[in-house]
């Protein structure tokens, strides 16, 4: 085999092996859900739609009076609600400056075996009028607005029935 042909063969083998490795890593990432987090509302989680031991995103409103901070650590426990179901969330870390009770948030993490959401990241909305789209959709499905009040179309249906 000539040196020129040998070099060409090595290049082709390198490209093929690199392609196989890239496809393999891509399939592994898809299979394990690496970097992909599906959104679930507290209602969907309570209904058992959310998988256990898989990273998901949960969103809703932080329930008034539910935030409990551990004075000796960065551990915070609070209740996330869509005004139909509640979800206990535990987060260890520094919360965003805009985090407060009555605020819409999205948390990323996993459900533990006790049904408690162990968050690794908490995202708060940007300003008073902004609502994460997933949270807005979940609240709309629940028939309430961000304050927990029934939406007008639901209130009218309740009167006419």
- Nearest Cα residue to 38 out of 63, 67, 61, 59: 59
Our separate counts of H helices and E strands in the chain read 4, 7
| pTM, full prediction | 0.65
pLDDT of 13 > 70? The answer is: yes
Cβ atoms 59, 45 nearer than 8 A: no
How long a stretch of residues is the chain? 161
Our CA angle for 61, 65, 68, nearest 5°, is 95
pLDDT tens digits along 14-69:
999 999 999 988 888 777 666 677 889 999 999 989 887 788 999 888 999 999 99
Distance separating alpha carbons of residues 86 and 79, to the nearest angstrom = 6
Q: In Å, what is the CA distance from 159 to each residue of 7, 45, 142, 152, 156? A: 81, 30, 17, 11, 5
Distance separating alpha carbons of residues 85 and 103, to the nearest angstrom = 16
pLDDT tens digits along 91-141:
999 999 889 898 889 999 999 888 899 999 999 876 656 666 777 777 777
Distance separating alpha carbons of residues 134 and 156, to the nearest angstrom = 25
The count of C-alpha atoms lying within 13 angstroms of the C-alpha of 43, restricted to the half-sphere facing its C-beta, is: 14
Q: How many CB atoms are closer than 10 A to CB 58?
A: 28
**Structure-token pair, residue 135:** 């949270």
Model pLDDT, residue 143 = 78
């Amino acid at each position: 085999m000539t040196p020129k042909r040998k070099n060409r063969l090595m290049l082709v083998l390198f490209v093929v092996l690199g392609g196989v490795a890239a496809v393999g890593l891509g399939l592994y990432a898809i299979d394990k859900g690496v970097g992909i987090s599906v959104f679930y509302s507290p209602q969907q989680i309570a209904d058992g739609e959310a998988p256990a031991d898989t990273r998901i995103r949960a969103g809703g409103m932080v329930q008034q009076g539910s935030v409990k901070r551990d004075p000796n650590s960065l551990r915070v426990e609070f209740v996330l609600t869509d005004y139909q179901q509640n979800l206990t969330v535990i987060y260890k870390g520094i919360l965003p400056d805009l985090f407060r009770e009555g605020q819409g948030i999205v948390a990323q993490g996993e459900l533990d075996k006790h049904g408690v959401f162990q968050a690794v990241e908490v995202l708060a909305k940007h300003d008073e009028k902004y609502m994460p789209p997933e949270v807005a959709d979940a609240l709309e499905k629940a028939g309430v607005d961000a304050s927990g009040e029934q939406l007008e179309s639901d209130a009218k249906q309740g009167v006419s029935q």
